[in-house]
Structure 1
Amino acid sequence: MKKYKKPSLFLLVICMFILPFLLNSYWLDVLTLVLFYVVLTQGLNIVVGYTGLLDLGYAAFFAVGAYTTAILMTTFHWSFWLTLPVAFLFAAIAGVIIGTPTLRLRSDYLAIVTLGFGEIVKILATNLEITGSASGIYGIPRPAIGSYIMASQKDFYFLILIVAIISIIAVYRLGHSRIGRAWVYIREDEDAAEAMGINRIKLKLLSYATGAVIGSFAGSIFAVKMSAIAPLSFSFLQSVMILLAVVLGGLGSIPGVVIGAALVIILPELLRGVEDWRYLIFGVSLVIMMIFRPQGIWPTKNNTEDVDDIETEDPNQSISISK
């Protein structure tokens, strides 16, 4: 991670571990929500930023993780930690399910299909008995480490902070791997990528599945933190806010989407003093931002920055993902 190996990065991480002891409960809760969005935006950044697949139903994967953990813990009395692999598996399957019919779709058509998938998941959660129907699932147990039960705000803050750090490192490593470079080639030109020997079908499905697993991780933690979930928590607006954070920060930029996640959560909170106008001001601010800086707050240097390291590799070594 040579780009980000700077003292300022480690200082920022240390500050994030210190902040809970300096903030009141309100701002600690806001910061915890920011970290949830950081995890979610990292997952969506793989799909939208790296692979160039517009996804308007990403909250569905968030819901898959939350409901899987909630059902296993309340109905079958599983430990929280044991529910995570199952949540990841179901989310990956859901990613493949949404990815399969969209392999030949692009642009608006792709957006419509993903939007429909998100609404299908929400409708299923609203109508199935096992998901608690419209009322949702209540009384979700808190996770435990040995005999210690995680119940305080600080506990969940540190938990989601660790998950956010893991997700950032994982997405960075993926983005600078052969798979990540293949995703970028698909984003830039699918036909050219396929002509180079990249299996776009396998890579697109892998992109959806990987993004889904990261989203489900946040969903599982959300379920035990809130101890209750309902379909309204996974609405279309949630998907839009996650996508907004990715676009606002900069497509394909890891620090950019982190900043975008912070802005879409913190800015409305700072405008609470003008309750009747805060969302209008928030919306106008976003419009102005997109007009004067459409590439995002912290964009990548160019459209192919993710493949700049190609020249440093062995020229006899293929970088493609063959069929």
Structure 2
Amino acid sequence: MLSWYYLKGIIMLAGIYLLPVLGLSLLTGFTGLFSFGHAGFMAIGGYTTAFMMMKLEVPFIPAILMGGLFAAFFSFIIGKLTLKLKGDYFCIATLGFGEAIRLLLDNIQYFGGARGWPGLPLKTTLITVIIIDIIAVILLRNIIRSRHGRNMIAVREEELASSIIGIDTFKYKMISLVISAFYAGVGGGLLGTYLGFLQPKIFSLTRSTELTIIVIFGGLGSLTGSVVGTILLIALPEILRSFANWRLVVYGVIVVFIMIARPEGLMGGKELSFDVLRNLFRKRVKEAKAEGGK
């Protein structure tokens, strides 16, 4: 029987990683830009938050926000240099950025270098994670439903046609990248103040790849899919921990099976809302009455 303390840890990790996944969902699922460097933005957010709290004695919430803003600032610089690249070149550029950030942190002894930065204050709580996640989902849903969100989706569907009808494709790519990096930076700050420790290898290429897999697994263009995918793929390795060395193999096989059986992802671009649930319930009730009348 799993203890509540262990379950709470899994829930908190899922909630923390949900933030960069939501940001990547906006960038990849709704704007059509694949990134393999989001662990780099998490690292910037995490180390900035730690610096603000440990060196400047900034309170927790402002420090978390500063971590997100610093990640967004770096994404703006990266976007200026790379967003005009086409196809796979942007993806490769973000991959290089993520690895460059990790290697820089490996060699900056002020932040602990490769040994890491221990002794961070344990400020992240379950309530904090839940509140921030709810706010993040609501904000992102409103962005996607706005004119700006529709323009991002237009860029994803057909960039050339979007530019012809007057949509500033570079502008909306930049907005998407900056918001996405901000979410990742806040997630990195929460992770550091949950673990009480930061180390560059936490933010490796493997972490970036996992975030992208979660977005694709949940369904491109679906916030609900991002939430469900994060919960399943963060919790699954912990549930399989009893398999020891085989747990990551089983994890990979399950992910591959789902992607073969349902290549559009779990939600397939659809959203789950109260209206959908109500309509589904009414449909089931009507079907049950029809069967009862026969």
The residue identity in structure 1 corresponding to 2:49 is: T
Asked if 1:231 corresponds to 2:200, the answer is yes
Structure 1 segments, 4+ long, off by >6 Å, are none
2 CA distance for matches of 1:68 and 1:171? 23
Count how many residue pairs are aligned between Structure 1 and Structure 2: 270
1 CA distance for matches of 2:255 and 2:164? 39
Change (3 A) 1:82 1:271: closer
Cα deviation for residue 224 of structure 1 reads 1.5
2 CA distance for matches of 1:124 and 1:276? 31
2 CA distance for matches of 1:301 and 1:47? 17
Aligned equivalent of 2:4: 24
Cα deviation for residue 101 of structure 1 reads 2.1
2 CA distance for matches of 1:289 and 1:85? 36
1:1-323 equivalences in 2 (<5 Å): 24-143=4-123, 156-301=125-270
The residue identity in structure 2 corresponding to 1:258 is: V
8 Å contact 1:54–1:107 — kept in the other structure?
no
1 CA distance for matches of 2:103 and 2:156? 31
SS at match of 2:245: coil
The residue identity in structure 1 corresponding to 2:186 is: F
Change (3 A) 1:106 1:81: same
1 CA distance for matches of 2:179 and 2:88? 22
SS at match of 2:85: coil
1 CA distance for matches of 2:245 and 2:104? 34
Aligned-residue sequence identity (percent) comes to 36
2 CA distance for matches of 1:84 and 1:132? 20
Aligned equivalent of 2:283: none
The residue identity in structure 2 corresponding to 1:241 is: E
Aligned equivalent of 1:18: none
Aligned equivalent of 1:4: none
Cα deviation for residue 258 of structure 1 reads 0.8
In the superposition, the TM-score normalised over structure 1's length comes to 0.80
8 Å contact 1:71–1:130 — kept in the other structure?
no
8 Å contact 2:221–2:270 — kept in the other structure?
no
The residue identity in structure 1 corresponding to 2:237 is: P
SS at match of 2:111: coil
**Bigger proportion of residues as helix:** 2
8 Å contact 1:39–1:215 — kept in the other structure?
yes
8 Å contact 1:50–1:252 — kept in the other structure?
yes
Cα deviation for residue 51 of structure 1 reads 0.6
Deviation sequence 1:62-110 (CA, Å, 0-9, x none)? 1111100111211222222232342232111111122122222233212
Cα deviation for residue 158 of structure 1 reads 1.1
- Root mean square deviation, CA, Å: 1.7
- Show structure 1 runs of 5+ residues with no match: 1-21, 144-154, 303-323
Tell which deviates more after alignment, 117-126 or 89-98. 89-98
Deviation sequence 1:161-181 (CA, Å, 0-9, x none)? 111111111111111011111
Cα deviation for residue 301 of structure 1 reads 4.8
